[in-house]
Structure 1
Amino acid sequence: MAASIEREDIHRLHAIARQVRTEYKKPMRDGIVEKIYQHSQSIAEEVTSRSERRRIDWDGRLDAILTSRYFGFPIMLALLGAVFWVTIAGANVPSGLLADGFGWLEGKLTDLFMWAGAPAWLHGILVLGLYRGVSWVVSVMLPPMAIFFPLFALLEDFGYLPRVAFNLDRLFKKAGGHGKQSLTMAMGFGCNAAGIISCRIIESPRERMIAILTNNFVPCNGRWPTLILLSSLFLAGAVGIGANVTAAALIVVGMVLFGIMMTLFVSWALSKTMLRGVPSHFTLELPPYRKPQFGRTIVRSVYDKTLFVLKRAVITAAPAGIVIWLLANITVGDQHVLDHIAGWLTPFAHAIGLDGYILMAFLLGLPANEIVVPILIMGYMASGAMVELDDMNALKTLFLEHGWTWLTALNVMLFSLLHYPCGTTIYTIAKETKSVKWTVLAALIPLSIAVAVCFIVAQVVRYFGWV
């Protein structure tokens, strides 16, 4: 009888303990972690001694500001805006110089082909298609990347990016995700494929899947040039200084914030539908601040990021230039194949504030986001050749001649920010999830959101007659 009562008491205690763990999981865990750190600090104080002249705790003072509930986000936005401002203001002049240099070399190549008696179709494929496509990628993408990536790397080397993750941690918890998702999202700013792989640090399969499905909503290396370019063309123009550049930088910051908002919203929606569950917790230990090694950091970022992305863009843009030239010079009936494809896509594209050529550029740009704009430029040319760009004004004129407005530029930026991942990222998702279902959803979810957002924006702007 006593043994039976004892077993009942034990079962009752276990039930109470389970209830306490369920109802007070977060406070208990946070309290335990806090006690561990307090105990560790007390041990450290007992076994260490300090000189009379106490050393200023600069890390603590900086963290009190940079991770503050009131100042953390404004400082984060200000730093991001400053990086974009410097990038936009500094990229125009070198882009123009590179375009002039490539234009001069193209003239020499044309003279060479004429001297050799090469047929017109060979000159068209190699010079007007391949060479102009590659030269456009280099002249437009290299200057902003050569400025943006080193600046971003310096912030990372300083130790600021973990503070960004710390500031975003509580937002991801509220959205039903894992706090580490802020770290994987930060990796996505460099490359979404790398961000997908970094999701391995999330132990929970449910929260890892949420992080994988939403990593695409932050702009990667391939989409930064498109966002910066269009904001520069339609807000900063060719001036390169003053309030126009500031407005362009703020637009890019707004795009980044919108991408983060979509990440949180989709994470919340997934956690309430297909991926229900209780968010888990983690402790993020902030690394100490470091004095940036400017020379080493800049060289490493140029080599590891700028040249890597540029190489991938050139490799994919070269065959794309040839394909576009062929499509634009093969005639079916009274129209080129390129015009047939664009015409077929135009009704749907117009409904979402784009045109058939823009939509076709995104479809053909699936291998890499870097080549979307070069493909678009080539597609706009009736002969399939790219326009000779003496400066950014010539590019803006080309867009305006094809019916672009500020709405078109805005929706191209929104669609670029939100649409499906590039081919490399989709392949990485398939390898990480080992599921056709989740891989397809990883492409369809952002695509459907991109179409919906662009449609709503286009219809609202047109309804009020703002264009």
Structure 2
Amino acid sequence: MGLTNQSTGTGALKEMFEVELESPDDIVIALAGNPNTGKSTVFNSLTGLNQHTGNWPGKTVTNAQGKYIHKNKRYILVDLPGTYSLLANSAEEQAARDFICFGNPHATVVVADATCLERNLNLVLQIMEITDKVVVCVNLLDEAKRKRIHIDLKKLSELLGVPVVGATARSGEGLEELKNTVEKVARGEIKTNPQKINYDEVLEKSIKEVQPYIDALVGDEINGKWASLRLIDGDDDLLKSLNIHLDFDLSKDEVLNKKLNAAHADLKDENIALADLRDRIVSNIVSTAESISKEVVTLENKTHQELDRKIDRVLTSRVFGIPLMVALLGVIFWLTIEGANVPSSMLASGFFWIEEQLTVFFHRLGTPEWVHGILVLGMYRTLAWVVSVMLPPMAIFFPLFTLLEDLGYLPRVAFNLDHYFKKACAHGKQALTMCMGFGCNAAGIVACRIIDSPRERLIATITNNFVPCNGRFPTLIALATIFIANAAGAFSSFAATLSILAAIVLGVMITLFISKLLSKTILKGLPSSFTLELPPYRKPQIGRIIVRSILDRTLFVLGRAVAVAAPAGLVIWFMANITVGDVSLLTHCAQFLNPFAKLLGMDGYIMMAFVLGMPANEIVIPILIMSYMAKGSMLELDSLDEMRRLFVDNSWTWLTAVCMMLFSLNHWPCGTTLWTIRKETQSWKWTWISFLVPTVTGIIICFVVAQGARLLGLV
């Protein structure tokens, strides 16, 4: 069995969702579930290496697809975004809902967590409203057994009216049974009778106003009762999707509008405001899930979560929560910085050995010096610097960050910072995107997808650059070591560490301040509420962590950085080597910027280093050294002492170092981040605003600090 090319299903799959079918007989399976249920483990276990990722057409939501063979039939498994509901509060929920509704998969597998089944049943019930071809996979049975939670899977199947399969995906247990069950549901060999949500009398009455007309209008293409309730609730996103799928505009249907108005009038007569309708719907779903859960879940040890709660009393407490979070973040930074030094040096040595071989090769060919300069000293050397400096920290930071995510600690970070972001009229999840920005601001921008509200997502995107990424840490550390630590004598390392920590805290404070400023000006609005799950602490899956962090994050960001760095190297080489009146363009530009830079406590060469370092913050210091030494290509000194002497010889003071650190913390995003912002927002307007906001902030802060120090006679 399978959809034919002429059927609605395959047409929808190919056009709207870009599911890659190799044959009309391929069987398409949707894989849905809450976050932290092991859904990705199920997906990886079934598909192995036969998978690829992309984005849903027109969305910034990841689309993972894989395939497996079962009984000589090819199954295409579409891993839907992890979501708690299908009420479409976010792009992820909308993508999952639209695929189940309009992609016409042959079956939908919903992965549920055996340790907290009641909450997971909310999504199961919503999916069963849309389609009757559902298989529930109750995963993490090993965790449930350890916590002495027993689930009557047979009774659960009877109550839900769909097949239920127990599994422990990480060990492969139950996956063969899951394949067999999916096959039978997809082929129609198992007839399902999904449990319907018990809506209250008022909602049922409103649904009956609209459902007959919807049924007549769309036939059996979608569930009429579910669609009626969503339209009564005013789900504009669903209306848009329906218009695309049905190829006509439902909002212009006069009969439908009259029926919706009548339903709204009935609700008003019952003193139910339209704004409160969503809460009423959710309440009905939750109560249905609760009643089912009570009948199938048995807790032999009712204190199974006591250890988690004891840990949370410390990690999320008002007294210890923030200090422990800062300390843990400090450890991760220290491990990243210290751990990256050796591989970074090794990569640099390897790349520059290759550069020497390229130089020998070009000389043997008799290539003109300017060609060698452009290709090797310009483009290749810049590329080598970016990769050697960016790759090791990202390869360390992202796995460590993913480890915290896998352990279940990141939701606790959001919990600790939620109050502060709410005060700033921003979203609590911005805490997570901000933390990701410490590794790489481009990755932090991508992480903003988890924020449901478009307004608050933009706030998080615009302000993500205020936390220093791994590309700016080398600059901050070098300057703190050679100027601030040098002046502290015996407490040099402590002073340097304290100054870096102060920079991080300042970045967080500026993030909160600018977030509030944006929410009161160009992005006005009330902060939205969100359900924050504190999942149980779990043993991390090291293999999964490495794959996710390296493939999905490190290489993704590095690829964009490489694409920006190569052409930037070309520009830097031209600026340093083309002369006008025996003076390079770089020097001319530096002299032009010098008066402005002096007002900010720096000089023209420093400002030009930041301008030319836009492709990647890692190359700011090498460009500055090249400029001071009047060389035609980027280079690095052998020690920090040599760097200090060079800077002091060029009239640097402690104020110059402090202002450069402040400007490094607050200036335009790097080229990779700007490109990512453009890709994520699909807007040049918000890309420019993301460029201007941190830049103007940095100019103001540096001006105040520089002029204040001079007025007080501190320099």
TM-score w.r.t. the length of structure 2 is 0.53
Report the secondary structure of 2:514's partner residue.
helix
Aligned residues of 2:606 and 2:624 also touching (Cα < 8 A): yes
Higher relative contact order (CA 8 A, sep 6+): 1
Once the two structures are superposed, residues 167-191 of structure 1 have per-residue CA deviations (whole angstroms, 9 ceiling, x without a partner) of: 1111111112233333443444455
Counterpart in the other structure of 1:456: 704
1:254 to 502, 511, 518: 502
Counterpart in the other structure of 1:293: 541
Counterpart in the other structure of 2:526: 278
2:693 and 2:417 mapped to 1: Cα distance?
23
1:287 and 1:163 mapped to 2: Cα distance?
9
Report the secondary structure of 1:78's partner residue.
helix
Shift of 1:74: 0.3
Q: Does residue 1:322 correspond to 2:570, yes or no?
A: yes
Q: Does residue 1:412 correspond to 2:686, yes or no?
A: no
1:294 and 1:38 mapped to 2: Cα distance?
37
1:458 and 1:107 mapped to 2: Cα distance?
43
Letter matched to residue 164 of structure 1: V
1:128 and 1:182 mapped to 2: Cα distance?
40
* CA distance 1:393–1:122, change in 2 (3 Å): farther
Letter matched to residue 169 of structure 1: D
Aligned residues of 1:95 and 1:140 also touching (Cα < 8 A): yes
Letter matched to residue 518 of structure 2: L
Report the secondary structure of 2:427's partner residue.
coil
Shift of 1:45: 7.3
Aligned residues of 2:622 and 2:635 also touching (Cα < 8 A): no
* CA distance 1:296–1:378, change in 2 (3 Å): farther
Counterpart in the other structure of 2:600: 352
2:652 and 2:369 mapped to 1: Cα distance?
32
Report the secondary structure of 2:694's partner residue.
helix
Counterpart in the other structure of 1:264: 512
Report the secondary structure of 1:297's partner residue.
helix
1:388 and 1:223 mapped to 2: Cα distance?
16
1:79 to 328, 331, 348: 328
Shift of 1:263: 1.7
Once the two structures are superposed, residues 193-226 of structure 1 have per-residue CA deviations (whole angstroms, 9 ceiling, x without a partner) of: 5544554554545444433433332334544454
Once the two structures are superposed, residues 139-189 of structure 1 have per-residue CA deviations (whole angstroms, 9 ceiling, x without a partner) of: 444444443333333222222122111111111111122333334434444
Report the secondary structure of 1:385's partner residue.
coil
1:434 and 1:106 mapped to 2: Cα distance?
38
Counterpart in the other structure of 1:6: none
Report the secondary structure of 2:573's partner residue.
helix
Q: Does residue 1:443 correspond to 2:676, yes or no?
A: no
1:366-381 aligned at under 5 Å gives the runs 366-381=614-629
Q: Which of the pair is proportionally richer in strand?
A: 2
Q: Which moved more, 1:200-209 or 1:346-355?
A: 200-209
Q: CA RMSD in A?
A: 4.2
Letter matched to residue 79 of structure 1: L
Shift of 1:234: 4.8
1:435 and 1:313 mapped to 2: Cα distance?
20
* CA distance 1:422–1:298, change in 2 (3 Å): same
Report the secondary structure of 1:156's partner residue.
helix
* CA distance 1:374–1:156, change in 2 (3 Å): farther
Q: Does residue 1:338 correspond to 2:586, yes or no?
A: yes
Q: Does residue 1:385 correspond to 2:633, yes or no?
A: yes
1:299 and 1:391 mapped to 2: Cα distance?
36
2:650 and 2:555 mapped to 1: Cα distance?
32
1:203 and 1:107 mapped to 2: Cα distance?
50
Counterpart in the other structure of 1:57: 306
Q: Which of the pair is proportionally richer in helix?
A: 1
Report the secondary structure of 1:387's partner residue.
coil
1:213-228 aligned at under 5 Å gives the runs 213-220=462-469, 222-228=471-477
Shift of 1:73: 0.1
Shift of 1:77: 0.6
* CA distance 1:455–1:89, change in 2 (3 Å): same
Counterpart in the other structure of 1:211: 460
1:198 and 1:91 mapped to 2: Cα distance?
23
Q: Which moved more, 1:447-456 or 1:316-325?
A: 316-325
* Greater Rg by CA: 2
Letter matched to residue 152 of structure 1: F
Aligned residues of 1:88 and 1:232 also touching (Cα < 8 A): no
Once the two structures are superposed, residues 49-81 of structure 1 have per-residue CA deviations (whole angstroms, 9 ceiling, x without a partner) of: 444795463221221111111111000110111
Aligned residues of 1:235 and 1:245 also touching (Cα < 8 A): no
> What is the aligned-residue identity percentage?
60
* CA distance 1:107–1:422, change in 2 (3 Å): closer
Counterpart in the other structure of 1:169: 418
Aligned residues of 1:149 and 1:306 also touching (Cα < 8 A): yes
Counterpart in the other structure of 2:136: none
Counterpart in the other structure of 1:70: 319
Q: Which moved more, 1:412-421 or 1:64-73?
A: 412-421
Letter matched to residue 568 of structure 2: A
Gapped regions of structure 1 (runs ≥ 5): 1-9
Letter matched to residue 257 of structure 1: V
Aligned residues of 2:623 and 2:635 also touching (Cα < 8 A): no
1:196 and 1:88 mapped to 2: Cα distance?
22
1:182 to 431, 453, 467: 431
* CA distance 1:340–1:62, change in 2 (3 Å): same
Shift of 1:296: 4.6
1:52 and 1:288 mapped to 2: Cα distance?
16
* CA distance 1:132–1:122, change in 2 (3 Å): same
Name the count of aligned residue pairs.
445
* CA distance 1:66–1:359, change in 2 (3 Å): same
* CA distance 1:142–1:228, change in 2 (3 Å): farther
Report the secondary structure of 1:383's partner residue.
coil
Q: Which moved more, 1:68-77 or 1:436-445?
A: 436-445
Shift of 1:465: 4.2
* CA distance 1:165–1:228, change in 2 (3 Å): farther
Letter matched to residue 373 of structure 2: G
Counterpart in the other structure of 1:4: none
2:697 and 2:537 mapped to 1: Cα distance?
38
Q: Which moved more, 1:281-290 or 1:223-232?
A: 223-232
Shift of 1:446: 1.8
Gapped regions of structure 2 (runs ≥ 5): 1-264
Report the secondary structure of 1:163's partner residue.
helix
Once the two structures are superposed, residues 346-404 of structure 1 have per-residue CA deviations (whole angstroms, 9 ceiling, x without a partner) of: 11112112222222232233344444444434434413123354455544554444444
Q: Which moved more, 1:329-338 or 1:37-46?
A: 37-46
